[in-house]
Structure 1
Amino acid sequence: MRTLVYAILFLALLPSSCLSAQQEGNIWYFGQEHGVSFASGSPEAITDGALTTFEGCASICDVDGSLLFYTNGGGRISTTSPQGSIWNRNHEVLYDMEGLKGGAFGATQSSIFIPNPANTDQYYLFTMEEREYASDGLPAGQTQGRGLTYFLLDRTLNGGLGGTIIDDERLHVPSYETLSATRHANGTDYWIYIVDDNTGDFFRYRVDAGGITGPVLQPRAVSDSITGPLKISPARNRMFIGGVLYNLNSSNGNVSNPRVLPGTLNSNTYSFSPDGSYLYVIEPTVSGALAVRYDALSANPLPTRTIFATLGPAIQGQMQLAPDGKLYWLSYSPANGQNVSFNAINCPNSPQATLSENVLLFPFESVPFFGLPNFMDYIFNTEETLIADLGPDTLLNCNNGPITLAPQTQGDEFLWSTGDTSPTLTVTSPGIYSLTVSSECGFVADTIEVFQNADTPTASISGPASICRGDTAVLQAATNLSGLWSWSSGDTLPAISAVEPGLYVATITDFCGRTAVDSFELIVIEDPAIELAAPSALCPDETGTATAFSAGALQYAWSNGAVGDSITLTGGGSYGLSITNGCGQLDTLFQIDSLTGPLLLLEGAEPLCPGGEVKLLATTSPEASLRWSDGSTLPELTAKSPGIYVATAENRCAVVADSVDLQPIGCENCFYIPNAFSPNDDGRNDLFLPVNLCPVEGYMLQVYDRWGGLVFEAQAPGLGWDGARKGERMPMGVYNWVLQYVQAGQQFRRTGDLQLLR
């Protein structure tokens, strides 16, 4: 039972006949100028054909089911046998094969038409040689027959009657009897399959917009000799020939997994169901034949063998899937006189398949015929299943009045649970109603429950009040009646997934058009976000306060063990903070720079000699305020007199000072020593006296005559020589002097000459 909540019910049923099969296979020509048209949906005999064949033939229509071409695939050189032709839609010979070209009408599958993927107006015709190719004489140069050959036809030539662009192009020799094709999985290209007579293996070709490529050898993997046609499932996933069922990959063309079905080895009459699920075989017996079905999709199909009909003695011909979804084959029994029987398997997709003999009878003159046109069976692919679908379970009677259940169907028989047998049913009261639909392929049933309009709809939304960012909330809407949901988010299912905060609104509209609304506010808790205030830098012993804030925080934990939203810190360094809320924890680090007292460096200190100057430079790290002992604040100071110079640097962490003592140490100009004097008591240059310009200690001045005799000695500055020794005036001439002194703890000794003048 299914759910339906509509005011009017529609039931979909597909009849047993194929409603969607392509119409390229609508018209068949075979035998002795016989034919069948499926234009009406059922097979009808037609007699306008020009074709004569024993077995092989092919025909092709356009997508609207109008005839384009047909052929027997080729002939023999004998004038008493058909020589092979291609006919146009007016049944005129489009191309005469003259018994020398194409394949042979005696081949099981003498020919097949395939659309050109590069041009919708063109068709390839592939033909196959018969094994008895030399029975009426051997054409010159054809010692192994003509094998696989192809033609290219264009329907637009000759005023729309068609003509050949390429004719009688040989592809492979030797090959006989079997020829099949199917569409590639890409929906555009095609695969061609034959059997190589030298190896007994499959050869495959690919037809695409660029032309024909191949062959590719595909080992057949069994040693049995080939008999019967090569059949490919409409589902393009199975292949059957010579009593062996294979898997087929329509993407790469590979054939694999051979499974022998012994009862089929001597049969030439078989085909797949339209949906590819079953393989049907007419298996010959001593007294007649058995109609047998295998599960083609089973990994082990042999145990699925099912006999569904028994046939009397007859020669069984080829079987072909048709546009009406049935399988048809030819047979000949003397009981039918000079007629070939056209038989059918009905409902081949269904386990209830049945058999109909003598659907049509076709006369013959002397020898019966057994071949039907060769098609790519994928064009007949259809599930062909009878369906009864009442839709959903519940039908709401909004007006509480009569309701007509009116299925759209082409079924043969209808039976409602009320006993009514009409296609529609009018109900006036609530309850459960069932419908059974029958056809020749079986029956199907479905049920619906009808409710009256009683309650008004309600709506409610449940879900979590809040979620963490990154999580998902499932909001579930509930109602007391069936209907259609519409959320403010655009969703239409009762349950939605929400990740963003906000107001979510759900509206239920029941099947009478009434609405109910509910809303739900969802809160999304974000990951903790931190607002942190802390000093940017601290001195080693300086204290400061760090304060943190995070909305929704449950706990603040600092790296020094403190808790709370603020702490007192001493000195710089790295600090950590962990904040937790209902959705988790966020860890962060922050840095307070460590400040230090200034480092002071004085540069440029050197002896300060009389008359000179020294430039001093004070530098600090880190930057600090600077002041010299003379009150100046610039980094550079010019000193012009000996003495101690002090620089002081100060920042928020400390005050430091440094000094330099500038003295005339080692200066050559600490004394002015004359090189002559005139002790004549005139008050001018009467004494030899070095002038002291620098403070010294250990002073000693000595004067010697030219023979080295000491004539004067003074041990204190300011005492000069008056040019006499022990009161006796010394003669004019050159004297030598020696000056010794100590300055800043360093001993100095200077010497020179002195001229005494009178």
Structure 2
Amino acid sequence: MTHTNTCSVFRLALVVFMAVFASNTVDAQGPNNWFFGQKAGIYFNGGSNITFLSNSQMSTPEGCAVYEDSPLSATYYTNGEKIWSANSGTVIQNGINLNGSMNSCQSALFYHTTHSDTVYLFTTDAHNGSNGLCYNIFSRNKKGYMGLQTTNIPLLNSATERMTLANHCDEKSMWLVTHQWNSDAFYSYKINEDSLNPNPIISHVGSVHNGNTLNAKGCVKISPDGTKLALAKMSAGTVELFHFDNIHGGVSDPILITGITNAYGIEFSPTGEIVYVSTVSGQIIQFNLSIWNVSNIINSKYIVTSQAQLLGSLQLSTDNMIYVAKDNSYYLGRIELPNSMGTACIYNPTAVYLNGRKSEAGLPQVYYKKTGYDFKVPIECLGDTSFFTILGDTTRLDSVLWYFGHNPILDSSRKFSPYYIFNAFGNYKVKLFLYHCDTVDTLVSYAGIVGPPNANLGPDTSFCSNEVKILDGGHATDYLWDNGSTDTIRMVNSPGIYWVRLSNSCGESYDTIEVLNIFDSPIVILPPDTTICGGDSLVLDAGDDSLVSIWQYNDTARFYTAKVEGIYQLEKIDSNGCRSANDFYLKLDTVPFISLGPDTTICIGYDLLFNGRSQGHYLWQDGSTDTTFKVTDPGIYYVNVRNACGEVNDSCEVFYEDCNQIIWVPNAFTPNNDGVNDVFLPFIEHVENYHLFIFNRWGELIFETQDYYKGWDGRYNGKNASQDTYIWRIDYTNYSGDNFNQYGYVILFR
């Protein structure tokens, strides 16, 4: 089934649905790379900065999902039926005939387990299709590349299109939540740190999902804090709200909102206090959930936008804005301040231009991994009270236990914000036990007890004139020097008395220092940098025998003969221990070298540049004196180059011919060391910026070169690659400066 036909069927079904039921109307841890719609793609590169991606090969009318090992490494995307590698732009090995459907509103979800290299891909069939909810298992190597191991494992045979992920309360596991068809049952599957538990928690609550198959359509989401669940039922024109138990996976406390014609997309604000609903009829509606009762929620209803545009998925992104899929549109809409009610939420219908690609009804889901807990460790003065604060959402904690010392009764507290008085200077180990989610976590840190600062500028001193004395009084919060400076250090370069006053919250201290003398440093004189011809030498004189003179390699003679190109260093030391140094660079010159190369032929319309690499005086056949000469016509060219060490001459005749780029690529090779076809090597002529890439079926790059004469010997990571079909790509530039890339396949036979 082609994308165009599928998309047309999808739109037709929605239009028919709208026509039949219109009379019943009563009045963001996930991917930074998104692939969706008609080969559309965007990249979130920090804040609200969005870059357009042009490498998508996927067209999908609705559901899609993205897996990325990290934002800038291996990335994969799917519509629930096929899986593509964004790196190679091809379908991965075994990545076809999956049991999902691109006509399902939430057709696919990737999840990488916390403590293993297992990646799950969950899929849903369209409507209440027979494939139901399935999962696929990938293995992930050290570079982030994935191999599909097992496909189409049934999880729930009779399922709607709805599925989403939510944090488990323990912040290590996840819940996969879906809804059974022809039932009122939610199914919550726990994904542990290394594997999926196939035995669900089942909650019978809310309405029965049955009747018109479009009641299987409509998204489900769980709030970022994992406590609320919302879903849209398209045919019924309803939104259902629930509480979600992210410890045990249960769903409860239903609230039904009716009259939402053609409800489709659903999303929570970052705080989880506001829920947004999009409709195929072109509306986005907002409800305030801060007070959990039917009348308050229904009365808070606000229509954010109403337009003649089929609206699809809503998705909270990593920038804390909600993006809106607009069917058959060159733009994504965006709710810019989703934590705000009413007009303050700011809806921008043309927020993201897709650079000529089109959005459809789907966007990839983004799920969020919660950050853990920590506690703020004080640094206090001896005798003062140390106050401790837990960093994190304490509303999700059942209880806490602090230990500040050795006595488990006297040196402990069960308060969320306790205090304690330590009786001596030092660093003290503090333990915090967090009881939540039927588990206990342990945090350890150290509290510091300090006193007033200890100012110490050291003994009185003298130093040399080429030095700068840096005075450092020690550690403190505030500094005050004799010159009024409040910097942590003070630089001095003259005799005198200097002082500093240090202070912190525990007190202050004071110290002085006298700089007695500043001795003149010796003067080191060497000649300016000099050039001599190779074979000659230069004698350097250190002068003044009353000072210690040290050349490089610890040579202490007064005279030093320099005959090798390089830097020569001399240091002098006087009776006060003052040191000065200087250096001198000797450059060796030679008779200049010039080579215009052999007589040569170049393409008509192109230039040849002769480049003289030796320094000296240049004289070309036309009297010009530049070090380079640009050839634009056929003929004989010659040059004379001279310097103080001699001169040379060279010439070259240049011919012109007509050229066109040639690229021939073999379709098979046999790397069996028989001397015949052992290397895969394209034949290349008249191109520039050549770059060859070879990928395996997984989309993993296994060979690349920019050398025209280097081919692939059929080995990868020091081992023979398996007999298989491989994908090649060649990037190049022709002599006109036009960029090209070519793709193809090559078969490795063994």
What is the TM-score of this pair, normalised by structure 1? 0.42
Choose between structure 1 and 2 for higher RCO, CA contacts under 8 A separated by at least 6 residues.
1
**Higher Rg of the two aligned structures:** 1
Normalised by the size of structure 2, how large is the TM-score?
0.42
